[in-house]
Amino acid sequence: MTNAIEARLTELGVTLPDAPAPAANYVPFVLSGNMLYVSGQISNGPDGLILGKLGAGMTVEEGAAAARTCALSLLAQVRAACDADLTRLKRVVKLVGFVNSTADFTDQPKVINGASDFMVELLGDAGRHARSAVSAAALPLGVAVEIEGIFELA
């Protein structure tokens, strides 16, 4: 059986990173029944951590690109939880995005759209999800974005 998600990733020219290891005393994901809860994934691209603060030198477009890297790491964790079988991913249920931003920055939703748009581009209607997008005065290691996710598995 062809894995439609892996085929779509290839079509989009996207390679998922390895699932990041936890940076502190937590697990990267918890599977409870058919629900998968993935810990916050920080903005980390092929060239390393994406650092910055929205509203202080970092553009919304750069923030959205950072959020997209979080989405890739979330999917890498889903793949790890499913023993490399992404066919088990039924839908994205919810994303919670944290944006390292100044007190007067108000475009957090536009930043987190970088992850949301990618999930829909990859998964279609199964990628549509409930969501929160909030400001944070600081994020771990100075990263621009952190996103956690809830996924339903088959």
Specify the CATH number for the domain of residue 114: 3.30.1330.40
Please give the residue range of the domain that contains residue 42: 4-14+36-147
Q: What is the pLDDT of residue 2?
A: 55
User: Tell me, what DSSP letter sits at residue 102?
Assistant: -
What is the value of pTM for the model shown?
0.96
* Assigned domain for 24 exists: no
In a domain, 23, yes or no: no
Tell me the DSSP string of 21-84: PPSSSS-SEEEETTEEEEEEEE-EETTEE-B--BTTTB-HHHHHHHHHHHHHHHHHHHHHHTTT
| Residue 20 covered by a domain | no
Domain count, the chain: 1
How would residue 134 be classed by pLDDT, with cut points 50, 70 and 90?
A: very high
**In this structure, is residue 90 part of a structural domain?**
yes
Does the residue 29 lie in any domain? no
pLDDT, tens digit (0-9, with 9 covering 90-100), for 22-61: 989 999 999 999 999 999 999 999 999 999 999 999 999 9
Structure tokens at 79: 């793949």
Say how far apart CA 55 and CA 59 lie, in whole Å.
Answer: 7
- The pLDDT of residue 33 is 97
